[in-house]
Chain A
Amino acid sequence: MESTAQIYEGSRIPSPIPTVLQVDPDKHDLEDILTINFGPNHPSTHGVLRLVVDLDGEMVAGLSAVIGYLHTGFEKTMEQKTWWKCITYPERIDYLSFQTNELVFVLAIEKLLGLETPRKATWMRMCLSELNRIHSHLVWLGTSALELGAISMFWYTFDERDAILDLSEMVCGTRMHTRYFQAGGLAEDIPPGFYENARTFCKQMSKAVDEYEAILDANAIWLKRTKGIGLLSADDAIALGQSGPCLRASGVNWDLRKNMPYLAYDEVDFDVPVYTGGDVYDRYKVHMDEMRQSVRIIAQCVDRLEEMEGEPWIADDRKVVLPPRHELHTSMESLIHHFKIVTEGYSVPEGEVYVVVESARGEMGCYVVSDGGPKPWRVKFRAPSFVALEATATCMRDAAVADMIAIVGSLDGVMGEVDR
């Protein structure tokens, strides 16, 4: 099967095109190569991914991924909106990991502005990001298991997911796409009762992860369909720019929260799960362990946040932050500031920054350019799932048709984020 040149010794990355697996020239003329379209509208493609697959019987002989079916031009639209109105967009790019996407954009604005945020906001951002990571992993687990025939997982995981969305609704008023993070801090104070509910959730969640694992890890079909499938070596993963669970399942101990800490991740205790197999099963194990670690972080965040009762949740900078509502009735200056921010938006100093956070899918990057005006000149998101799908051709080498479902699921692409 191997006939194309390797880009380096031992690499499985196809050559010359790293993202396209080409049919072996010897086989090309054979009539039994069947080219089929897998997707874009297929229930197991996690949205609208299209794979053009050349099949040799049951085996994948050639493959190329086609994306763009969900392209909505977020980046172009954001250039037309003021900075503070743009905050609603990143969440909709990746609709499962909305909170971390919001975070990375807000962090980019704050970096350009040089704005300090109060510690209460920092810790709450961490708490919500971790809740959101669990949310995203739960949807991943539910849908991926569903595609491999474990239908019940979907109902179980959506129970816990609902608990997270309830917490989200309690804090932000909306269940998804919260727009809770503002440049400077949070949009609102943390409501009473949140800590108690978050603690209850932590207890429920740590039990739930064990239950999920009990269902899947003792399931012979699950093990057969995930172990040794979709192999990605550590070198290939780095060369293909993989991040997040995909990278850690390939044996690379890399987590931005640990290696290049942001927010206050250097002040909390957690471990980075690393597995060395690089197959679908190890990616599943990384996701499971990450949920446990996130629960640990949330518990620590809640403890710290409780000590900060009564502290400010947003920076006191009237040029950027909306004044408190009650001041509008008594203070002319507040009214002017409010009017200026709402109509014109705040100006962000000229410059370019690239900010990254560890989202549920890996390195979520945001590159923004400002010309000093109230609208961004350029916004670019480094979408982890866009890069993850570049590995489809490598992972699907020597795979069977049925493995394709497991592999696409394990790469955890969210098409909204891939196509932006």
Chain B
Amino acid sequence: MAYEATPGLVETVEAHGELTLVVDPARIVEACTHLRDVEGFNFLSDLSPTDYLGWAEKGVAGYYGTRPGRDMHRPGSQGMARVPDPKPKRFAVNYHLLRLADDPVRIRVQAWLDDREEIDSVVGVWPTADWFEREAWDMFGIVFRGHPNLRRILMEDDWEGHPLRKDYPIGGEPVRFSGEE
């Protein structure tokens, strides 16, 4: 197993030609520091959380125009022959790392979090993470402990809710027309 010396490593997954290291969220900074200093991943390409609320349940990835959506447990006519594997927790925080050197490698570090579970900030490891973590807080409400400036970045400061969560409704925002009072 590659990168087995990574602190807090839970498992490594290889899919679609990409390597994912699933890491214990409590030891994320330790793991990232190790990957940067020992394995040479000096470049944080991206930090993208994903909300898996409702994953593999009825009513998601729905058929067009049907309100309750399609039952994921009944295979569709085009693919969808199997129900997706359940995920361990609600949120996945994905760190896409790059070894920017003559022997470039990309890996993904993944940490799983429940709602309201916090994770340590990696701003001290890669300064790039500053805005990425602010965006993750803004869009998903994931708290990064130790972030020096964890404020909303894309939404307004007094915005309520975190728009990219799966339970944040689309069209929930009231529309006001200029003629209305």
**What is the interface of chain A, defined by CB distance below 8 A to chain B?**
7, 13, 16-20, 67-68, 71, 73, 75-77, 80, 82, 111-112, 238-241, 252, 254, 259-260, 319, 340, 343-354, 356, 363, 365, 367, 369, 371-375, 377-378, 380, 382, 386-387, 389-390, 419-420
B48:A367 contact, CB within 8 angstroms = yes
**What is the interface of chain B, defined by CB distance below 8 A to chain A?**
15-18, 20, 42-46, 48, 50-52, 55-56, 60-64, 70, 72, 76-80, 82, 84-85, 94, 96, 100, 104, 106, 108, 123-124, 126-128, 130-131, 139, 148-149, 152-156, 163-164, 168, 170
A340:B77 contact, CB within 8 angstroms = yes
B130:A18 contact, CB within 8 angstroms = yes
B45:A377 contact, CB within 8 angstroms = no
26 example contacts (A-B, Cβ-Cβ < 8 A) are as follows A17-B149, A67-B154, A68-B154, A68-B156, A76-B170, A238-B42, A238-B43, A239-B127, A239-B128, A252-B100, A254-B100, A347-B80, A350-B82, A351-B15, A351-B16, A352-B108, A354-B46, A363-B45, A367-B48, A371-B60, A372-B80, A373-B80, A374-B61, A374-B78, A377-B50, A382-B46
For A374, the chain B residues whose CB sits under 8 A away are 61, 63, 78
CB proximity of A364 to chain B, nearest CB, Å: 10
**How many Å lie between the Cα of A390 and that of B46 in the bound state?**
13
**How many Å lie between the Cα of A408 and that of B45 in the bound state?**
22
Contact of B127 among A240, A254, A371 (CB under 8 A): A240
A375:B154 contact, CB within 8 angstroms = no
The 7 closest A-B CB pairs, nearest first, are A373-B61, A347-B79, A241-B128, A18-B127, A380-B48, A382-B46, A68-B154
Known: A238-B43, A259-B104. A354 touches B18 (CB 8 A): yes
A16:B148 contact, CB within 8 angstroms = yes
Known: A17-B148, A71-B154. A344 touches B63 (CB 8 A): yes
Contact of B128 among A344, A347, A390 (CB under 8 A): A390
Contact of B50 among A111, A378, A382 (CB under 8 A): A378
**How many Å lie between the Cα of A115 and that of B43 in the bound state?**
29
**How many Å lie between the Cα of A345 and that of B79 in the bound state?**
11
